[in-house]
Chains A and B, each alone.
Chain A
Amino acid sequence: MNDFISYLNSTNNIGGNSTGSLAEAQVKSPFYDSVKVERRVGTTISEEVKTGNYRSYILTGHAGDGKTSILVQVLKSLGLLGAGEGLEIEKEYEHFFYVKDMSEIPEQNQVELLRRTLSAPQRGKTGLLISNTGPLLKSFTTLAKDKKTEEGLPFEAEDRIELQSTILTQLDRNEDKEITVAGYNFVLVNIARVDNVSFATKILSRIIELELWGACESCAVADKCPMCCNRNLLVQHFERVSAFIDNYYRYLFENDKRMTIRQMVGQISYGITGNLTCEKVLDSMLKEPQFTFNFANLFFGYRGLGIDKNSTQIKGIQHIQTLGLDGIALDVDYRLFVNHDYSFFPADIRTIIEELSQKSRKHFQVVEETTEAFSNQQARTARIRKAIRRFYLVFGVGTQDYPIEDIFNQIYGSNYVDYKKMITSVQPSSMIRKFQNVVFNALYIKNTGFLPASSSENLLPLTLRREDEVYQSVLLVLGEVNKSDIKIITEKIVNQLEDADEKYEIYIQLKDEKFKISLPMIKYFNDLIDGAVTSNNNPALTHGIASLDTLLLEQYGDVNPEPGEDCEISVIVNTTHGQKIKRFDFNGNRMHLVD
């Protein structure tokens, strides 16, 4: 028996026991130190305490983001928490004071504890308070109100909105600077805004460490145990599997569907165990365990060919099924499904796939197209194809014709891999130019309705367009931007709260102003170029794009003539023979045609 299996099963919320996912229970777990990951904010705080640089910290974030783990990390680093020792609601040490969770404290005492945390530096210690945003806002409102009352001033609705906005803006941006509210200086950290994607690979490598699986070596059924087999597969193909997991969580993160560490641990653990137990494996004859309970199936919430409905309680599985990643057609489909060419799989996986494929062909019958048997057979074929795709996505080997990078572009959008490279490392100018072309072409088609006539086209007309269904055959040109003025730049994020070693943000630089580009925006630009969308199809992007329009106009719009002044007007005319730019010069009471 391996107790680690029970621990893994307790990290997700399927079934009755999910205690392993609770930070407080984890602190006492013998496996905690084996799977924990160090957070930079924890290191920063403990270093500051050690060097006597006392500050006040307030920590907030999603449940499962590791707030309590950071407190534990700090305490352990300062030697203030022994093995197996639990946490208290609040505790004051010589140079450190903490409040474990503000919501556990009666409302009337919350403001007082907030005050004590904020004034900790004055008492020669660092204060760390963990809180949900709701009680935090409430307590700060009371603090600010009290301060105004002391000053003999009223606390108006605008004051409340201003206070909320200050705190929420910091929580949204998560800058590593102190802010001042109600006369107190403190660092407000929102763990939910920290890029935690890189932890997925670290967690995976910790979970499959040999010492945690030592008990399995002496197990009589280790060879047929799907959990053991999954662990061995992950050791064997660690690089490839972690590439898939890392890219999946990266995609979610960039699309505002960030996973918490607890959610990642839950999905990865479930991918390995499928919530099976050692007893279950010993006592029952599992059917095709290598295929049915394979990591590639479990990680997607499948048991064999069918969906395990309970598994959708795991957030990562819910997302992966909504995205329908295994339903997206791949370039390799023809080779896999028509040629039955499984050379794209490593040997151990190939065996599983070949067995599945042979079995399916053995059972194949020629039946009338109109019968129920025919549609059942069609549905089964579709399920098998999806299963093969899952294995390909997780374990597939890249070839010259079908490189691994292309797989991610096929499922996450054509510039996904490039985008990821841009935000994780410094890229050569050829890559920058590639992005510049995408942005230029997308803006060109958005402004004129057509792609540039040739690749040498270097002038982007800024037009006044309606966003409704009314067709405009002539568009007013409000300015022009040279392609070389649409600069793509990346800026390194310098933030001591961030866990990622190296992270960059991508911007369009327009003179002195910058406009941040996100992955959904890149996808939207590509869709525009492919003629797949109109601007209103994604309202979440519409005002982002509208802001870019406004910025372009502000920076590169023609200088507006004063009332009564002569002016020149440029228009784009859409004709059956393409587009033409016409210019009219108004001079006195005459209009001159300018060629």
Chain B
Amino acid sequence: MYPSDYKPAKQIPLQSYLFGHRIQDSQTKYEYLIEFLQVAISPKAVEYNNKHYDCMFPVNEEHCDNRMQYYPVSRIGLKRFVFFPKSKLDGKAAVDKKAYEECLKALEARIVNGNTSQIKNALLIIQNLLNGFSAVNQNRSWFDQNMLPVCPEVILPEGMGIKSWRQGMTFQQCDPDIDSKFDFKKYTYMCRGGEVYYLHLLNAINQFPEYKELIEKRIREMITSFPQFSCLCNFVQDTWDEFMAVSPEDKKTLSKDLGAIPTSFEVRNKYTLEELENFLNSKCHPFEKMETFANGLILQMLRMMYLSASTEKSSNCWLIDVNCKGYENTEIKKAAISAFKRNEETISTYLYDGLDADKPEWVANNGDEVKTIKAAADDSYRLFRKLGKSLGIIIPNTGTGMRFSLSEDIVKFLVLSIIPPKHMITLDEFMDLLHEHFGMVIGAAQYRKEMANNMLPPISDLSFMEENKNAFSEKLKECGFLRDLSDATSIVENPYDKEEE
């Protein structure tokens, strides 16, 4: 595992051991990104030797061997202000209702140059402005909501408002519990998916430290593009903090433990960094970048996990049915469905092999073998299905015939991460690189490579893969990344300029 001396307090589930500690299915696309950013921007430390780090990705052997902690800032007052009025009734405890009303009053008192109605209206406008950047469009309690990472101040940890804890509370100024009596270790929606990605990146940067500076700089630029939000959020939170006047000694610092990831993820280290360098160097709108990053991050994680389950007998490559409108092909569809089944079998075998390696302990921990495997399957390939569907790389959304495909959003990430900004490569080269980086089999050439290593069933007539390539070419063209250059050559271009040095 990474960190190397990772010793869990109790026996961890099989799936966490095999795929990282740990990811679950309730986490949505943006919450992976938010959780990752949250770890990245928080101060970190290795507690046993009291070593502290302020940068995003410390390059140091200490934390490669020792589990880390990070210290996010909760900013409950801000979260309550943004989400309380438009959230599920269920989570609205009386104490929070009162706190919310007090917060409004405190803010009103800080607004000058207007009558009461204008002031109230101004607060509503700010609330609506911030609420418009809600990351999850679901009916959740206010404390479970998150904002898109438009500024560092809104990258907040999850704090569950446990009903029994909050029901009996009464509001009082100076009471630290008003904002801190939440369960910050519940992992209901921020289920450590972002932590797993952070650890992967940390591991990668420690292996290739030359990427550290650039990646940190670009991530920081991305989340600090709109300082107006920082100004607004600080106004709300600072006003609230001053109103509450909790004494410094009563204030609780939030501390969270970073888990661990299997060392098998390391095979993707170099690829992840190369892809991030190209992607983050592409000068697109910061907002567009966040959205594409959220997709790409999950894609990279999925590939990493499929790859760690691969064996000498299965490269776990992804046979892609491009499925572009007007270019549908039943042969590739059938081949992709059966390849997808083999992918899942490979993961299933990986789970059983993992169980066999340490059977008595797992069983002792989880009751019986069936339960252990079921839980592991739920948190691995069944979860991968859900994630893949949310990205559009697994189709169809419902029903039978699941297979790998490519959505427009993912095509965008692939182009931006494989091709350096303002560069062009041929379509054939692009497909080869997709195969090398993500194990994607799109054209006949990639199929032949996998076939030669006995990873895909032998087929003599690969003309359907040529049609699949045509479909891919059309999809890239529709997305504006491909142009027919001359004769049979098409070029794939990353059209964005390079971000300034």
Contact = CB atoms under 8 A, between A and B. Distances in A.
A560 B284 CA distance: 18
Contacts of A171: 485-486, 491
A190 B129 contact: no
A60 interface: yes
A501 interface: no
B310 interface: no
Interface string A550-580: 1001000000111100110101010000000
Contacts of A190: 485-486
Given A540-B478, A543-B284, A546-B288, A165 B425 contact: yes
B498 interface: no
Interface string A122-165: 00000000001110010000000000000000000000111011
Contacts of A591: 110-112, 122, 235
Contact of A63 (B285, B487, B491, B495): B487
B487 A60 contact: yes
A549 B231 CA distance: 23
A473 B132 contact: yes
Nearest to B418: A161
Contacts of B238: 589
Given A561-B227, A592-B113, A172 B285 contact: no
Interface stretch (A350-358, A388-396, A437-445, A464-472): A464-472
A553 B118 CA distance: 30
Contact of A132 (B227, B230, B487): B487
B20 to A, nearest CB: 29
A256 interface: yes
Nearest to A132: B487
Nearest to B108: A591
A134 B285 contact: no
Given A172-B485, A478-B226, A593 B112 contact: yes
B424 interface: yes
B111 A593 contact: yes
B429 A593 contact: no
A195 to B, nearest CB: 15
Given A464-B226, A473-B132, A593 B119 contact: yes
B496 interface: yes
Given A539-B478, A543-B495, A133 B485 contact: yes
A193 B485 CA distance: 8
B496 A547 contact: yes
Interface in B218-234: 226-232
Given A473-B132, A567-B228, A593-B118, A132 B488 contact: yes
Interface in B259-291: 283-285, 287-288, 291
B451 interface: no
Contact of B230 (A475, A563, A589): A563
A222 interface: no
B287 A161 contact: no
Contacts of B256: none
B128 interface: yes
Interface residues of A, number: 63
Interface in B99-122: 110-114, 118-119, 122
B270 to A, nearest CB: 11
A136 to B, nearest CB: 9
B359 interface: no
Nearest to A162: B423
B425 A161 contact: yes
Contact of A168 (B133, B235, B412, B491): B491
Contact of B487 (A134, A470, A472, A474): A134
B483 interface: yes
B448 interface: no
B434 to A, nearest CB: 14
Nearest to B416: A543
Contacts of A474: 125-126, 128-129, 132
Given A161-B420, A478-B226, A133 B287 contact: no
A594 interface: yes
Interface in B106-155: 110-114, 118-119, 122, 125-126, 128-129, 132-134, 137, 148, 150
Contact of A546 (B128, B285, B486): B285
Contacts of B338: none
Given A466-B132, A569-B228, A542 B480 contact: yes
A180 interface: no
Contacts of B485: 133, 168, 171-172, 190, 192
Question: Most chain-A CB neighbours within 10 Å: which of B113, B126, B485?
Answer: B485
The residue among B133, B232, B486 with the most chain A CB atoms within 10 A of its own CB is B486
A120 to B, nearest CB: 22
B486 A133 contact: yes
Nearest to B409: A539
Given A168-B424, A473-B128, A586-B235, A560 B487 contact: no
B131 to A, nearest CB: 8
Nearest to A541: B480
B122 A584 contact: yes
A466 B485 CA distance: 34
A470 B134 contact: yes
Contacts of A193: 486
A476 interface: yes
A392 to B, nearest CB: 30
B489 interface: yes
A586 B287 contact: no
Contacts of A169: 424
A133 B489 contact: yes
B234 to A, nearest CB: 8
A582 B125 contact: yes
Contacts of B487: 60-63, 132-134, 192
Contact of A164 (B112, B425, B495): B425
A573 B123 CA distance: 12
B479 A539 contact: yes
A261 interface: no
B312 interface: no
Contact of A593 (B122, B129, B232): B122
Contacts of B227: 560-563, 567
Contacts of B496: 543, 547
Nearest to A588: B110
B250 interface: no
Contacts of B229: 476
A582 B128 CA distance: 13
A47 to B, nearest CB: 25
Interface string A176-195: 00000000000000111100
Given A172-B483, A474-B125, A589-B242, A464 B287 contact: yes
B295 interface: no
A256 B423 CA distance: 20
B115 to A, nearest CB: 10
Interface string B397-419: 00000000000100010000001
A544 B486 CA distance: 23
B125 A466 contact: no
Contacts of B125: 474, 571, 573, 582
A472 B111 contact: no
A561 B287 contact: no
A362 interface: no
B426 interface: yes
A539 B412 CA distance: 10
Contact of A192 (B420, B486, B493): B486
B239 interface: yes
A590 B480 contact: no
Given A60-B486, A133-B486, 18 more contacts: A63-B487, A65-B486, A134-B487, A164-B426, A165-B420, A171-B491, A474-B125, A474-B129, A476-B229, A540-B479, A543-B284, A567-B228, A571-B129, A584-B122, A591-B111, A591-B112, A592-B113, A593-B113
7 contacts: A61-B487, A132-B488, A164-B426, A171-B485, A171-B486, A561-B227, A589-B235
3 nearest interchain CB pairs? A472-B132, A133-B489, A540-B480
